[in-house]
Amino acid sequence: MAIQQAAIGTGVTIRSRPGRFYHQLMNACGTLAALLFGGMALLVCADVVMRNVGLGSIAWAVEATEYILMVATFVAAPWLLYLNDHIRVDVVLRALSAPMRRRLELATDLACCVICAVLAWQTIAVAHDTAAQGSLVFKVLVFPEWWLNLPMVFSCALLAVEFARRFINLLTREAH
């Protein structure tokens, strides 16, 4: 219920089919990130306990924790922006008049949308290149290197959509 209340403030119409899908996608991002962070905490605790009781360590735990942290962070970013719970420094915004504040927010949303779209596109290009080369990550875990790019592609694409949505909402709100 709290998430639905937060979504109302974001301008998402949950009643429409696309709005409902988008809302559920954002909630899924938050849920997945929470599960990943929780799983990471359990993995670290299990590794520490096993070492302290003399059962050895989980060989892949540190490496898996690194990857889980990266994936969880990228998956959480669109959800946090959607709920407007991202880190935002608004010292400058508070000092501006309402019309200037809107203009700056429009410019910021547009710039962030473009930056995230470019990052998504570039990450797709890098993933394609590493897949074409057959590059592998060789550590304790061995897997195709392009897998590491998927969370960033997903996150940057959703962030671009969210910034575009915020831009359009602010633009239409300004027109009324």
Residue spans of the domains in the chain: they are 1-87, 89-176
Report the chain's mean pLDDT, rounded to a whole number. Answer: 89
| Residue 52: CB atoms within 10 Å | 8
Q: Is the pTM of this model over 0.95?
A: no
Contact at 8 Å (CB) between 80 and 158?
no
Both structure tokens of 46: 């299990």
Q: Which two tokens stand for residue 67?
A: 């990857």
User: Cβ atoms within 10 A of the Cβ of 106, count?
Assistant: 16
Residue 144, classed as helix, strand or coil, is: strand
d(CA 12, CA 7): 6
Q: Which of 6-15, 17-26, 159-168 has the lowest mean pLDDT?
A: 6-15
The C-alpha atoms of residue 40 and residue 27 are separated, in whole angstroms, by 20
1: pLDDT confidence band, cut at 50, 70 and 90?
very low
Q: What is the pLDDT of residues 125-135, one digit of tens each?
A: 999 999 999 99
d(CA 93, CA 72): 30
Q: Which helix (H) or strand (E) holds 54?
A: none
Q: Which two tokens stand for residue 158?
A: 């959703």
Residue with tokens 């109302």: 8
